[in-house]
Amino acid sequence: RTQRLVSRHFVSHLAAWSTAVEVGIITLQAWRGVPSHFNTETVLDTSLYAVKMCGVLLLGLACFLATVGVLAKPAAASTAQLASLRHGLLLMCVSVLVGAAQVIYGHTAREARAQEEAPCLEATAGATGSPCYEIHGKAVVKLAHFLPLHATEVLLLLVWAARQFPDCNGLRLVRLAASGCWSIALLGLWQTLKGEDIR
């Protein structure tokens, strides 16, 4: 409803079905007692991993389409709501790009590092030691993916809360909160690139 560039029906179905595929395969692999990420041990595991990655690719595409729609051709909405969507969706695109970088990092041949052994075992629930896609130095890589991921919900909730108080400047609150979300996301990315633990 907040953009008129791309069919809402198409984007919502693309996001919903690709998420269902990804979560379904993760659940199936957990039920089988094997890792769902970067698992290419058997033909079945490799096939499921490939299908899951296709689902992830389509979900990322849905995020980018929604973002371009809100930026290029927004529908009628309050300035605070549009600001929250713009910041939130752009941060979600950052999260998608970090996730893509994590996949590339996970498939890159690297030497094992002693300092990564214990964190890799912890992050992968004992499935693998160093090297693993979850750890870079002392950093837990998925935190850089997670930190910007859910900003949209937080910012939209703030817009709703501001509407409950007529004298509240929702746009100013959204801009302040968005600055915080961007700061946290960029700090997480910077610390991860440096291999520092941000927890």
- Give burial (CB, 10 Å; 0-12/13-18/19+) of 85: buried
pLDDT of residue 125: 66
Rounded Cα distance, 67 and 91, in Å: 10
- Give burial (CB, 10 Å; 0-12/13-18/19+) of 134: buried
Angle, in degrees to the nearest 10, between helices 79-106 and 43-72:
150
pLDDT of residue 1: 63
pLDDT of residue 118: 85
pLDDT of residue 64: 95
Rounded Cα distance, 124 and 39, in Å: 11
Q: What is the block-wise mean pLDDT of the chain (199 residues), using blocks of 10 residues?
A: 80 93 93 84 91 94 93 86 92 94 85 84 72 84 90 89 84 92 94 87
Q: Would you call the peptide bond into 131 cis, given omega within 30 degrees of 0 as the criterion?
A: yes
The pTM (predicted TM-score) of the whole model is 0.86
- DSSP code string of the chain: --BSSS-HHHHHHHHHHHHHHHHHHHHHHHHHTS-SSS--SSHHHHHHHHHHHHHHHHHHHHHHHHHHHHHHSB-S--HHHHHHHHHHHHHHHHHHHHHHHHHHHHTS-----HHHHHHHHHHTTTS--SS-TTEETTEEHHHHHHTTTTHHHHHHHHHHHHHTSTTS-HHHHHHHHHHHHHHHHHHHHHHHHHT----
pLDDT of residue 98: 93
